[in-house]
Structure 1
Amino acid sequence: MPDFSPVDYAIPAFVALVLVEMLWARRHRPDAYEARDTLTSLALGLGSTVAGVLFGGAALMAFFAAYEYRLLDIGWAWWAWALCFVLDDLAYYWVHRTGHRVRWFWASHVNHHSSQHYNLSTALRQTWTGAFTLGFAFKLPLVLLGFHPGMIAVCAGFNLVYQFWIHTEAVGRMPRWFEAVMNTPSHHRVHHATNPRYLDRNYAGVFIVWDKLFGTFEPEHAGEPIRYGIVRQLGSFNLLWAAFHEWAAMLDDIRRAPWRHKLSYLLRAPGWSHDASRETSDEIRARWRARKERALSDEQKVSNENPIAVEGEAA
């Protein structure tokens, strides 16, 4: 089993790139960084590292226990590494999508989206409670198929390293062939947006093809400025509130809800409420689309009622 963590080796590069982006932002985007926001992101990243050391062993133990029941002995050939990387990214797509669509998982993942700024420090804004949600179970099929837990851990590490550089506004669009296959800053800016058009889109880690395959892809539209953060903005730089606010809100909703609705506040989409007092991302998007369609219909109606005569047109 390889004793190698890609993230550990990448940390110096992460720090250097954040500093480089800060210099770029001072000249080109002064509002890209906010000191208290950046410190909160860095603190969440540090806390996530500590949580990984304390609780990550539970996932590894589960993987090794499941490995005893594997269907195949895939081994360590080069093609096994390539296949594991692709399948691990597919598993990441589904755990990430679930992290947005099921409130139990969103309570943990929301930390990463709570900044209203989008820069490389935002990539470090990671959860403290990921192991608690048992999201690692999404990768158990890879273990049962026959990929060694160590191989999966290394591939997941490279996946995380790749995702760091796409958290920036300093990079516009990549070449078309690259944008067609890979996740890019443009695609991931969409994922961090609160615009109705963009909500819950582009879940990919490395390969954007998963979103195109499963119907969750949305390109970045040049004429629509992106608003970052979450639908109900955090409104605070308090570190503990940033880390646990959604857990507290979810538990409060469960406490207040009638018994028949309590489980729904765990398993339904974020924003769902039994009394329709809030909206899910699907409902927000549907309302936005309806408004757009009404506006387009009204435009067409006005156009039909007031035709423009073309000069010189034959009678």
Structure 2
Amino acid sequence: MKLNINNETSRLRAVVLGTAKSNGPAPTIEEAYDPKSIEHIKAGTYPTEEDMTAEMAAVASVLKKYDVKVYRPEVISDYNQIFARDIAVVIEDKFIKANILPDREKEIKAIQYVIDEIDPKKVFKAPSEDIHFEGGDIMIHNDYIFIGTYKGEDYSDCIVARTNMKGVDYIKGLFPHKKVIEFDLNKSMTDPRSNALHLDCCFQPVGVNKAIIHKEGFRNPKDYEFLVDLFGMENLFHIDKNEMYSMCSNIFSIAEDVVISEQNFKRLNAWLSKNGIKVEEVPYAEIAKQEGLLRCSTMPLIRD
């Protein structure tokens, strides 16, 4: 397999889509990784395997409609394998394994059959366990690589901080010809409306020159201002805290003019349609209860 990813929106040809099969029982509060999951565990509204499997089947159906090659992880019993984006990232023709939370290391093994199709010289893994990054924090935008991070002094105690500056520097080292820009994100262990778990929870390019953005997701106003200058205010769709909570910035592009979006994102979907982007609407609100959505559960391998 010849990998090719240079941005978030070119025509998709191959992707890994996670699976909700044999997802296991709802976690305990102590086992949860994010405040939104904890909120639903406490409320008794944590999503069921049946509902999440149906939602992912809807996405698989849309991808099939557009003739995208879809790889699924091998199913591990009683194990959450929905968020394929976290475990690796493809940039250009390189497959880079992420250093993720130790409890999730089995996930990469479940797609080993995919990795076996890639030239071993194009497969990378960070050489040290203190180099942290996850795919949800990394976005390729042509000449740029955008990376979400957290620069707070409490990084080591903050389980919702997944990418550190050592991770940023590692990616910079692999792609010296790219402009690598890091963004310091707001994190909260207690309030899901104030927690940008990954960069794609508060920002994502869409179409040719547009993006979805949540201004309050950025700790440093200059990071937000950089994106305004780069894209132009008129090309940005601003979402509020409740829309970020619903994961409005976490849709997924099949092409510059086609996206998969959650069916309840009425305001966003209308804006996308108005700007000439076809919206394939799917139900995904149950999976969203785990603070992840469509981008989180897909890992692109090949785009035109």
TM-score normalised according to structure 1 size: 0.25
Q: Which is richer in strand?
A: 2
TM-score normalised according to structure 2 size: 0.26
Q: Tell me which of the two structures has the higher relative contact order, counting C-alpha pairs closer than 8 angstroms and 6 or more residues apart.
A: 2
Q: Which is richer in helix?
A: 1
Larger Rg: 1
